[in-house]
Amino acid sequence: MFDKKSLESIELIIDNHNEVNEDALNLVSSYYLDITDVRGSKIMEISNEEISMMIRVSDKKIYRTIKFPNTFKSSDEVVTFFYLCLAEARKKAPEDYPKTRIEIQIEKTLNLNTYITKVKNKKEISSNIIEITFNGGLESLPDLKNDAFMYFIIHKNIDHRYPENFVMQNFRELNAKKDNPYSAAYYTIRAYRENEIDVWFVLHDHPGPLANWAEKVTEDSEVAIWGPRSTFTPPEGTDNFLFIADETAQPAVLASIDNLEDKFNFKCLFETQDQSSQFECHDPNNCIEWIYRNDEPAGKGSELSKRIEELEMETDNLYVFGAGEARQISSIRKILKQKFSLKPDQMSFTGYWKRTD
Ligand SMILES: Cc1cc2nc3c(=O)[nH]c(=O)nc-3n(C[C@H](O)[C@H](O)[C@H](O)COP(=O)(O)OP(=O)(O)OC[C@H]3O[C@@H](n4cnc5c(N)ncnc54)[C@H](O)[C@@H]3O)c2cc1C
């Protein structure tokens, strides 16, 4: 049996692959399982031994399993094995078979750089968000705009100096060993200037190395950052946007709306704890609506889903960008998909963090 943490991750993997990565499942069905005329694929179940799939072929459904080479004990093994199946399928697919979303994301990571930069300044944005300005070492960092995010690799000693040639691969190697002094997580570039970025760190009351580091860190402390990447990809002709975000994704939304053309319509639903964690932002057309969790913990707020259930919106040329706690965002995606019958390319939903208690 998988442990509780892996079981929860597997539930999210199934949900995410079925909802967002059906293109990758179809590639695997067609060229790893060698099924012809695949019209759709779903994962039914993942056990320690295999992935069970349901595949639509012309007018019927067939069921197949992908056996693991041995008994898997963790969700990480399942993820790695699925990527291997995808790579095998790609080798057999015709050259013009379109790239899947997963492959596009993997490709984007191939040429990313690692930058060593320093804390220049800290500023309180709200009761649970600190802005940190990083300066230096970022001369060649491209400005991707929108939800551009980077992987922040911090050292447990805030006075640590990184070797000049420190790169992501060093972190990966150390991460595979015990007693790795580094920890890492993704954060969004809230604002970009030459050789300088602002990043908003959400402070939360669980022991999290990154949030703790952001709270303690002082001017001149160093950090290594790897990236940037972006997932904000509205289809051509989009002029209507719905943004849904908890505190962790508000920087991505604010950076994205900073970059929208004036003629576009947009609405933002921002979930936060209470009035003290709401912050001032430029919103001349009242496009930002704040929703409080009040006594409910982060990731478990019920008011946001209620608000989405009752939401009325034009769905022509609509693009929805939503990010926050993984389970919460997955249930919001289902509500919206049903309510507005959106096509897959009209939605980008990402679990930015996962509640583990
Ligand atoms: C693409 C992307 C962009 C992101 N951008 C931002 C950003 O701009 N700002 C930002 O603050 N976060 C952002 N995040 C989320 C951030 O990476 C996670 O919150 C991360 O888990 C924080 O690491 P940690 O070391 O503090 O906690 P972890 O060690 O990952 O987790 C420790 C405990 O803290 C809990 N936890 C983690 N995050 C939160 C939270 N936000 N609220 C309550 N409990 C939490 C976990 O459930 C766990 O129990 C982004 C994530 C992604 C994938």
Sorting pLDDT into bands at 50, 70 and 90, what band is 352?
very high
Across the chain, what does the average pLDDT equal? 95
Interval between CA 185 and ligand 1 midpoint (Å): 7
Interval between CA 326 and ligand 1 midpoint (Å): 11
Interval between CA 9 and ligand 1 midpoint (Å): 16
pLDDT tens track for 28-82: 999 999 999 999 999 999 999 999 999 999 889 999 999 999 999 999 899 999 9
Of 305, 314, 293, the residue nearest 336 (C-alpha): 305
pLDDT tens track for 142-195: 999 999 999 999 999 999 999 989 999 999 999 888 889 999 999 999 999 999
Q: Is the pLDDT of residue 86 over 90?
A: yes
Predicted local distance difference test score (pLDDT) of residue 251: 98
Sorting pLDDT into bands at 50, 70 and 90, what band is 311?
very high
Sorting pLDDT into bands at 50, 70 and 90, what band is 341?
confident
Q: Is the pLDDT of residue 134 over 90?
A: yes
Predicted local distance difference test score (pLDDT) of residue 344: 83
Predicted local distance difference test score (pLDDT) of residue 223: 98
**For residue 214, which atom of ligand 1 is closest to its CA?**
26
Specify the residue with its C-alpha closest to ligand 1, atom 42.
Answer: 204
3-state secondary structure the chain: CCCHHHHHHHHHHHHHHHHHCHHHHHHHHHHCCCCCCEEEEEEEEECCCEEEEEEEECCEEEEEEEECCCCCCCHHHHHHHHHHHHHHHHHHCCCCCCCCHHHHHHHHHHCCEEEEEEEEEEEEEECCEEEEEEECCCCCCCCCCCCCEEEEEEECCCCCCCCCCCCHHHHHHHHCCCCCCEEEEEEECCEEECCEEEEEEECCCCCCHHHHHHHHCCCCCEEEEEEEECCCCCCCCCCEEEEEECHHHHHHHHHHHHCCCCCCEEEEEEEECCHHHCCCCCCCCCCEEEEECCCCCCCCCCHHHHHHHHCCCCCCCEEEEEEEEHHHHHHHHHHHHHHHCCCHHHEEEEEEECCCC
**Mutation test of ligand 1: which of 147, 248, 272, 355 has the most ligand atoms closer than 8 Å to its C-beta?**
248
- In percent, the amount of the chain with pLDDT more than 70 equals 100
| The token pair that represents 217 in the structure block | 């860190």
Q: Is the pLDDT of residue 83 over 90?
A: yes
Sorting pLDDT into bands at 50, 70 and 90, what band is 346?
very high
Interval between CA 256 and ligand 1 midpoint (Å): 20
Specify the residue with its C-alpha closest to ligand 1, atom 52.
Answer: 352
Interval between CA 250 and ligand 1 midpoint (Å): 13
Interval between CA 51 and ligand 1 midpoint (Å): 29
72-99 exposure pattern, b = at least 16 Cβ within 10 A, e = fewer: beebebbeeebeebbeebbeeeeeeeee
86 and 97 in contact (C-beta within 8 Å)? no
Predicted local distance difference test score (pLDDT) of residue 284: 84
Q: Is the pLDDT of residue 205 over 90?
A: no
Q: Is the pLDDT of residue 2 over 90?
A: no
Q: What is the pTM of this model?
A: 0.93
**Count of alpha carbons within 13 Å of 339, Cβ hemisphere only?**
19
Q: What residues are in contact with ligand 1 under a 6 Å CB criterion?
A: 149, 183, 185-188, 200-202, 204, 206, 208-211, 248, 251, 298, 352-357
Average the pLDDT over 118-131 and give the result: 97
pLDDT tens track for 223-235: 999 999 999 999 9
Sorting pLDDT into bands at 50, 70 and 90, what band is 122?
very high
The identity of residue 296, as a single letter, is E
Domains of the chain from N-terminus onward: 4-103 (3.20.180.10), 112-229 (2.40.30.10), 240-353 (3.40.50.80)
Average the pLDDT over 89-111 and give the result: 94
Q: Is the pLDDT of residue 6 over 90?
A: no
